[in-house]
Amino acid sequence: MEVSFTKEVEALRLGAGETFHGEGILAITKALLQSGVAYVGGYQGAPVSHLLDVMVQAEPYMKELGVHVEACANEASAAAMLGASIHYPLRGAVTWKSIVGTNVAADALSNLSSPGVVGGALIVVGEDYGEGASVIQERTHAYALKSSMLMLDPRPELGNMVRIVEHAFRLSEASNMPAMLELRIRACHVRGSFVCKDNVAPRISTQHTMAEPAPFDYARLAHPPVTFGHEKLKSGERIPAARRYIVAEALNEHHAGTRTDIGLIVQGGLYNTLIRALQQLGLADAFGASELPLLVLNVTYPIVPDEVVAFAAGKRAVMVIEEGQPEYIERDILAALHRAGATTALHGKDLLQMAGEYTVELMAAGLASLLERHQPDVDTRPTRDWLAANVARRAEVAAQLGRAVPARPPGFCIGCPERPVFAALKLAQQDVGPVHVAADIGCHALATFEPFSSGHSILGYGMSLASSAGVAPMMKRRVLSIMGDGGFWHNGLLTGVQSSLFNGDDSVLLIMKNGYTSATGTQDIISTPDEEEKARAPDRQQSLVDRNTTIESTLKGLGVQWMRTVHTYRVAEMKKTLQEAFTTDFAGLKVIIAEGECQLERQRRVRPWIASLLKRGKRVVRVKYGVDEDVCTGDHACIRLSGCPTLTLKDNPDPLKLDPVATVIDGCVGCGLCGENAHAATLCPSFYRGEVVQNARWHERVLASLRSAIVQRLQAA
Ligand code: SF4
Ligand code: SF4
């Protein structure tokens, strides 16, 4: 990837007494090194990509420390990596986006949790939940429950987050349970500072390797009959050991408060929002001093029943603030109170919304309900008025607009090589008829939004072809499965291609070969163009990724007989190839490889290169596209076929015409799609291609002046 994390890598080197300033996710990364982690792995995905990206770029320093860093093929391989901690006193950490990544890793997690670990094992999951999330809304907590893993949810303050990471390894070792640490989007990006400790070089490391493997120990495998014993160990020894550690080290935080009649038990990650909501009610200040007693759960599984019962003792009511459904923590607490014979009333989801992100407004409404029932001396009217005013204001804005504010879905980047494929697919379907499209995870999923609205289902990352296996035999017309090269390597090769070939499925697979896992931050994959190639040809737009033929040779080796490679920007050729795949007599798997380097990554490389050319006074030519407003008919067929944000609308300069005309604004990177679409779809001839010449040669300047003078004369005439 072209993004540089030089500053972040430097921050990892900070020593004892120095102050770290920055984002939560980087603080966690530093905490791993302070904890003596020996190996780190993971699979990229928001909001935790940063952890692995920085670790990968810090490779020389990691080597110095003896820490092994593995950019894993998928989350399953990352989880399996933690197997190193089953036998050896090695501390390991892996990371991925959850819930999707945890689903992929589930098999290895079960098999890890059953024998347990001797070295601390930590999984940093990006809990992609709530506003801004990009995956299914489910909770990782379920995995901690079913596999008996620790679940940490640190209060989002950098010092506390670092403290919890350091304890996580020790807690994991004390209980033999792997630990999961969930970080919501806001926790990853919260900024702050903490005073560092020195990094700890692991005792066993790539610098100090082990001479012999561990002796054979059947109890550390994960198949029956030993697994029956493991199950008993989980409830009989490991969870009680974890509870003892949680209490001894005061991992959960108690804030006494002054109104001791009622109390709040909150997931650590929701603490900041809770304080803001309490401020609205006049029950907290900006520094977190709350009038209501708080039990902040930095560890949400296992719950310590004695701790909860002690907190509830003497209180009329306690409310559990737990985001998402179902209410796992609330049920745990309810059971603990009930078993202890406590009479304290327990509230939670009865006063708070069951699903969705807990925003300040939502929490404030729930708290107001709690106070009205159990603390009537608190005047909740200002808060109720504030909430009602917010609702009224939104309604007023909607009324003024005449309708709800239209959603603005995300779209492909300007010049994205995947956009032309969907333009070609639209055109191909005009001839062959509509086809069922099995979509996938990746940038190409942006085609599910307008103007393409393409895709019938998404079953998982790299799962499109596998998901077509049931529907394809039921369709008269062939089904199209689309996946990216990231998805292909993550899962698609085995779950999709191998299965399709084995079963002799008659299907069409389109692989977007853009060279990176672009949607997660353009991380490298095995088919990424190599650095030498990039350095040799920094400006190559359409044929840089084709130099790496790993995907093609893998498919060939597996026995794919029908395979075509088409540059994505060649819309007419792509349309023809799609039509051929849909109609050919060949009945096996047909693969189209759509080549075109990720434009975001290309621009990151090309821009500094162009700047350096300009600085050296070299001639630089940039291509731009435009629309002749006098020719544009205003039917906007080009926009419906493109969706490029720089191909937009402006007022029609012709006073006799009402429809706005198409126009290309400044951001156009000259990808050529406008021209290709105009040609492939036989659009109106209003598009033109211009060349912007910088540091032009003397004869070009003279020619330009001459042309300009002639044009001015003609215009005047
Ligand atoms: S990141 Fe790359 S592949 Fe993804 S939308 Fe942008 S240009 Fe396209
Ligand atoms: S050529 Fe067209 S599609 Fe490509 S960046 Fe410019 S306006 Fe967008």
| Ligand 1 atom 8: residue of nearest CA | 416
Q: Which ligand is nearest to the CA of 410?
A: 1
At 352-394, the pLDDT tens digits run 999 999 999 999 999 999 999 999 999 999 999 999 999 999 8
Distance of CA 47 from the midpoint of ligand 2 (Å): 30
Q: What is the side-by-side strand order in the sheet with 480-484?
A: 457-458, 437-439, 480-484, 508-513, 590-595, 562-567
Quick check: 45 and 100 in contact, CB under 8 A?
yes
Long-range CB pairs of 234-241, under 8 A, 24+ apart, other chains included: 234/113, 234/148, 234/177, 235/148, 237/176, 238/116, 238/148, 238/175, 238/176, 238/177, 239/148, 239/175, 239/177, 239/302, 241/174, 241/175, 241/176
| Widest CA span in the chain | 98
| pLDDT at res. 71 | 95
Give tens-digit pLDDT for 474-513.
Answer: 999 999 999 999 999 999 999 999 999 999 999 999 999 9
Distance, CA 184 to ligand 1 centroid (Å)? 24
pLDDT tens track for 290-326: 999 999 999 999 999 999 999 999 999 999 999 999 9
Q: How confident is the model at residue 533 (pLDDT cuts 50, 70, 90)?
A: confident
Q: Is it the case that residue 4 has pLDDT exceeding 90?
A: no
Ligand 2 atom closest to the CA of 674, numbered from 1: 2
Mean pLDDT of 405-432: 92
Read off the pLDDT of each residue in 405-412 and give the average, rounded to a whole number: 80
The reply to whether ligand 2 has any atom less than 6 angstroms from the CB of 415 is yes
Give yes or no for residue 541 having a pLDDT over 60. Answer: no
Higher per-residue pLDDT: 536 or 381: 381
The pick from 642, 649, 650, 691 for probing ligand 2's pocket by mutation, whose C-beta has the most ligand atoms within 8 angstroms, reads 642
Report how far ligand 1's centroid is from the alpha carbon of 419 (Å).
Answer: 9
- Residue of minimum CA distance from atom 3 in ligand 1: 598
Predicted confidence at residue 606, as pLDDT, reads 86
Pairing of strands 262-267, 317-321: parallel
Q: Whose CA is nearest to atom 4 of ligand 1?
A: 443
410 pLDDT above the threshold of 80: yes
Is the distance from the beta carbon of residue 597 to the nearest atom of ligand 1 less than 6 Å?
Answer: no
**Per-residue pLDDT band at 32 (split at 50, 70, 90):** very high
The per-residue pLDDT for 538 is: 63
pLDDT greater at residue 131 or residue 443? 443
156 Cβ neighbours under 8 A, 6+ residues apart: 24, 184, 186, 187, 190, 268, 269, 271, 272
| Ligand 1 pocket test, candidate residues 598, 601, 642, 668, most atoms within 8 A of CB | 598
- Give mean pLDDT, residues 215-239: 97
Cα–Cα distance measured from residue 393 to residue 399, given in angstroms and rounded to the nearest whole number: 10
Q: Which atom of ligand 2 is nearest to the CA of 646?
A: 7
Tokens, residue 282: 């006049």
Q: Is the CB of 642 under 6 A from ligand 2?
A: yes
User: What confidence score (pLDDT) does residue 398 get?
Assistant: 83
User: Hey, is 127 helix, strand or coil?
Assistant: strand
Q: Which two tokens stand for residue 210?
A: 């082990």
pLDDT for 1: 62
Average pLDDT, the chain: 94
CB of 196 shorter than 6 A to ligand 2 = no
Substitution candidate for ligand 1 out of 413, 448, 644 with most atoms within 8 A of CB: 413
Structure confidence at residue 267 as a pLDDT band (50, 70, 90): very high
**pLDDT of 543 above 80:** no
Residue nearest to atom 4 of ligand 2 (CA): 671
Please say if the pLDDT value at position 542 is more than 60.
no
pLDDT of residue 539: 62
> So what's the pLDDT on residue 531?
76
148: nearest Cα among 99, 110, 92, 122? 110
Taking a C-beta distance cutoff of 8 angstroms, is the pair 46, 134 a contact?
yes
User: What is the pLDDT, as a whole number, of residue 323?
Assistant: 98
Share of the chain above pLDDT 70, in %: 98
CB-neighbour burial class of residue 385 (10 A; exposed 0-12, middle 13-18, buried 19+): exposed
* 632 neighbors 642 (Cβ within 8 angstroms): no
Average pLDDT for residues 142-146, to the nearest whole number?
Answer: 98
Which pairing describes strands 345-347 and 317-321: parallel, antiparallel, or unpaired? parallel
Please count the other Cβ atoms lying within 10 Å of the Cβ belonging to residue 459: 15
Centre of ligand 2 to C-alpha 653, Å, is 22
Using the atom order of ligand 2, give the atom closest to the CA of residue 672: 1
For residue 417, give the ligand nearest its CA: 1
For atom 5 of ligand 1, the residue with the nearest CA is 412
Whether residue 454 has its Cβ less than 6 Å from ligand 1: no
Q: How far apart are CA 412 and CA 512, in angstroms?
A: 13
Question: Does pLDDT of 514 surpass 80?
Answer: yes
Q: Quick check: 656 pLDDT over 90?
A: no
CA of 207 to the centre of ligand 1 (A): 39
Q: Using alpha carbons only, give the angle 654, 658, 660 rounded to the nearest 5 degrees.
A: 80
Cα 678 to ligand 1 centre (Å): 22
Give the integer Cα–Cα distance in Å for 610 and 210.
50
Question: What is the Å distance from ligand 2's center to 447 Cα?
Answer: 16
- Tell me the ligand closest to 449's alpha carbon: 1
pLDDT, position 233: 98
Q: Which ligand is in closest contact with the Cα of 447?
A: 1
Q: What is the pLDDT of residue 2?
A: 61
Using one digit for the tens of pLDDT, what is the confidence trace for 581-635?
Answer: 999 999 999 999 999 999 999 888 888 889 999 999 999 998 899 999 999 988 8
Tell me if 673 CB under 6 Å of ligand 1.
no
Residue 156 has pLDDT above 70, yes or no: yes
596 Cα–ligand 1 center, Å: 10
Ligand 2 site, residue 375, Cβ cutoff 6 A? no
246 pLDDT more than 70: yes
Residue 227 predicted with pLDDT over 70: yes
548 versus 467: the higher-pLDDT residue is 467
> In one letter, which amino acid is 413?
C
Instruction: Say how many Å lie between the CA of residue 625 and the centre of ligand 2.
Output: 7
Q: Which of 194-208, 534-548, 646-660, 684-698 has the weakest average pLDDT?
A: 534-548
Does 512 sit in the ligand 1 pocket, CB within 6 Å? no
Query: Which ligand has the minimum distance to the alpha carbon of residue 601?
Result: 1
pLDDT tens profile 251-262: 999 999 999 999
Read off the pLDDT of each residue in 434-453 and give the average, rounded to a whole number.
96
Residue 196 pLDDT: 98
